[in-house]
Structure 1
């Protein structure tokens, strides 16, 4: 009988200990609070820059202050601001090109990529582009 109780007792204790999270009890149904500082939170324009240079592949055609294949970021930001355009809608593939409509066909393959981005990512990309406004 003692041989059966001891393993069960050990298994029960292991279960209780393993259910604790970092030495504290879980708060079931309550949202977790974080103690992040401002320096730990990524700014939208920083996320936008990462997307621009990374998975968005925007840097292949756009540069901050010179026309490459597509218009510069300064021209894009200035045009969208002046015309009160909706850059996010355009990047979703739901808006008309307003910067240089003659290059829209070149941009279409990239819209396939940007259509997959979340609203947060698109707004971050827009925020980064607006940092180039001079």
Structure 2
């Protein structure tokens, strides 16, 4: 009887196989690599994307608002702080007649980080030669 129990125990242990603990592949591709972005690239992305600046400003011609080349030139010539203006804390120096239209967009720019605002500023300055 002891031999039978012993054989049964050995067979029971032998029949237990180790399960494969393979991790399932994700259903969508994952990329954890962070791609460095220059301030100008960040600014352009914001200008054309979430900032929606392109709705009123073109690079080289006046639309609803002045061109960003004109904005860059005036801010550069006057040594003014574009980031302060975008935070809603500065006075309009480019086209004061359009200030009320621009004020509506401060909801967007005030929610941006300093890094995003500096990126936007870098992009605007990058449009002038």
- Normalising by the smaller structure, the TM-score range is 0.7 to 0.9
Unaligned stretches of 5+ in structure 1? 1-35
Task: Report the TM-score when normalising by structure 2.
Answer: 0.72
Does structure 1 residue 57 correspond to structure 2 residue 52?
Answer: yes
Give the aligned partner of residue 94 of structure 1. 89
**1:46-85 equivalences in 2 (<5 Å):** 46-85=41-80
- Structure 1, residues 32-58: CA drift from partner, whole Å, max 9, x if none? xxxx8xxx3100000000100111000
Unaligned stretches of 5+ in structure 2? 1-33
Larger Rg: 2
SS at match of 2:104: helix
Give the aligned partner of residue 38 of structure 2. 43
Give the aligned partner of residue 122 of structure 1. 117
Give the whole-Å Cα distance in 1 for the aligned partners of 2:92 and 2:106: 11
**Which 4+ stretches in 1 moved above 3 angstroms?**
none
Give the whole-Å Cα distance in 2 for the aligned partners of 1:78 and 1:57: 21
Task: Report the TM-score when normalising by structure 1.
Answer: 0.70
Q: How far 1:110 sits from its partner (Å)?
A: 0.6
What number of residue pairs does the alignment pair up?
97
